[in-house]
């Protein structure tokens, strides 16, 4: 074999036997690594790649689910606000109706009390007029008996009272 090889004028000494030996060892090491280690290493790298891919897909899926959940929550919140607004409007309407009902009831009660008071006043007025008529009749009889200075019997006295009441009633 060739032990030395000289290149150029600079005098680089190269041992070709060492180069061939190292090349053979490198090729043998490369073959052994490929046979025993590269497949396992590539398998581990493939698993890692698959795991990272599945994690990315899972993250994207979670992101989409979160987006959908946010949209659903936003829609539910909007519906709840609309429902609350509807309840408030309904409560206002019911309160207004109740207010009007209370006012109408109070007016009716006031009118009823006025009518009742008017009736009571008229009854008391009629009672007072009747009592006054009786007193006037009694006084008239007393005055008439003194004026006439005679005693009237009960029938004449009743007749005189009735006539006086007629006169008093027509005079009003």
What pLDDT was estimated at residue 6?
A: 47
Domain spans of the chain, in order of start: 5-171
Structure tokens at 156: 């004449």
Q: What is the dihedral of CA 87, 89, 94, 98, to 10 degrees?
A: 140
Comparing 33-37, 93-97, 124-128, 143-147, the range with the smallest average pLDDT is 143-147
Residue 2 backbone dihedrals phi, psi, to 5 degrees: -95, 125
Q: What pTM was computed for the model?
A: 0.40
Quick one: pLDDT band at residue 161, thresholds 50, 70, 90?
A: confident
Say what percent of the chain tops pLDDT 90: 52
SS3 158: helix
CB atoms within 10 A of CB 141: 16
Q: What is the DSSP string of 63-126?
A: HHHHHHHHHHHHHHHHHHHHHHHHHHHHHHHHHHHHHHHHHHHHHHHHHHHHHHHHHHHHHHHH
- Tell me the longest C-alpha to C-alpha distance in the chain: 194
């Amino acid at each position: 074999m060739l032990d030395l090889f000289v290149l150029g004028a600079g005098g680089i000494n190269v041992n070709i036997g060492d180069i061939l030996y190292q090349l053979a060892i490198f090729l043998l090491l490369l073959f052994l690594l490929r046979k025993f280690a590269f497949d396992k290493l590539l398998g581990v790298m493939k698993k890692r790649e698959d795991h990272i891919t599945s994690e990315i897909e899972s993250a994207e899926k979670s992101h989409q689910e979160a987006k959908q959940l946010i949209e659903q929550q936003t829609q539910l919140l909007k519906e709840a606000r609309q429902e609350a607004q509807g309840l408030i409007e309904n409560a206002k309407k019911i309160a207004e109706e109740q207010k009007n009902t209370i006012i109408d009831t109070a007016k009716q009660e006031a009118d009823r009390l006025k009518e009742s008071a008017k009736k009571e006043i008229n009854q008391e007025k009629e009672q007072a007029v009747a009592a006054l008529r009786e007193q006037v009749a009694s006084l008239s009889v007393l005055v008439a008996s003194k004026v006439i200075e005679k005693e009237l019997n009960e029938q004449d006295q009743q007749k005189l009272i009735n006539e006086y009441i007629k006169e008093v009633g027509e005079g009003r």
